[in-house]
C-alpha cells in the first residue's frame, strides 16, 4: 500500500482528475455526461471567512444556511479538498455538476449535499474537478477518496461532506446453528 498523500490539485491531476475550473465556467467546460466522481478544492491556504447566510437555493423549504460556529467546526485546517461527490445513476457528471452550480446561485436544484461551500466568502474562487469512470462504482470511488482524506486529516471529513457514506458490507449467507 502506498503512503497516503495530501489531496491537492497536483496529486488529483496525476490521478486523472480533469477540469479544475471555477463553477461559473462549468457551462463552457467539456464535462463528460457519464458517471464519475468530483472534488471541490480551495487553493487559498489562508483561514476562510464565512458568509452569515448562504446564497444557495432552498430545497423543499429548507434554508441551506448554518451558523459560523457550525462552519468553523466543520473546517479542516490545511486541507485543499473541501468536498468530494459522485455522479451515478441516470445523472452523469455534467448534469450533477450543473445542479450543484445552479444550487449555489440560489436556483432550485436537486443538490443539497456539499452546501457548506456556498457560505465560504471566496466560493467564487473554488475549483471543481472531475474524474470520469467507465468501469467501477462511483459510490465506492467516492468513499475511497473520502477514506483517504480522513486518513490524512485525523479522521475528519472534508469540510462540506456532512456524513460518511460508508457502505455496508454485503450480507453473507450464514448457516443457522
pLDDT tens by residue, 80-134: 999 999 999 787 999 999 999 998 988 876 677 789 999 999 999 999 999 999 9
* pLDDT at residue 177 in the model: 29
**Residue 91: phi, psi to the nearest 5?**
-90, 120
| Separation of first and last alpha carbons in the chain | 38
pLDDT in tens, 3-55: 578 999 999 999 999 999 999 999 999 999 999 999 999 999 899 999 999 99
pTM summary value: 0.89
- Residue 175 CA to residue 132 CA, distance in Å, equals 41
Contact predicate 139/58, CB 8 Å: no
- Residue 11 CA to residue 9 CA, distance in Å, equals 6
* pLDDT at residue 80 in the model: 96
* pLDDT at residue 166 in the model: 54
Amino acid at each position: 500500500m502506498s503512503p497516503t498523500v495530501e489531496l491537492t490539485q497536483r496529486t488529483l491531476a496525476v490521478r486523472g482528475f480533469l477540469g479544475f475550473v471555477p463553477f461559473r465556467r462549468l457551462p463552457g467546460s467539456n464535462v463528460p455526461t457519464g458517471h464519475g466522481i468530483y472534488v471541490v478544492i480551495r487553493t487559498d491556504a489562508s483561514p476562510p471567512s464565512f458568509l452569515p447566510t448562504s446564497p444557495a437555493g432552498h430545497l423543499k423549504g429548507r434554508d441551506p444556511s448554518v451558523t459560523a460556529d457550525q462552519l468553523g467546526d466543520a473546517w479542516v485546517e490545511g486541507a485543499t479538498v473541501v468536498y468530494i461527490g459522485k455522479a451515478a445513476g441516470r445523472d452523469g457528471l455534467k448534469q450533477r455538476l450543473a445542479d450543484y452550480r445552479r444550487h449555489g446561485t440560489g436556483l432550485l436544484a436537486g443538490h443539497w449535499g456539499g452546501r457548506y461551500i456556498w457560505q465560504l466568502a471566496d466560493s467564487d474562487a473554488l475549483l471543481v474537478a472531475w474524474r470520469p469512470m467507465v468501469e467501477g462504482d462511483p459510490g465506492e470511488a467516492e468513499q475511497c477518496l473520502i477514506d483517504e482524506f480522513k486518513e490524512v486529516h485525523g479522521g475528519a471529513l472534508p469540510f462540506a461532506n456532512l456524513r460518511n457514506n460508508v457502505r455496508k458490507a454485503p450480507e453473507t449467507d450464514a448457516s443457522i446453528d
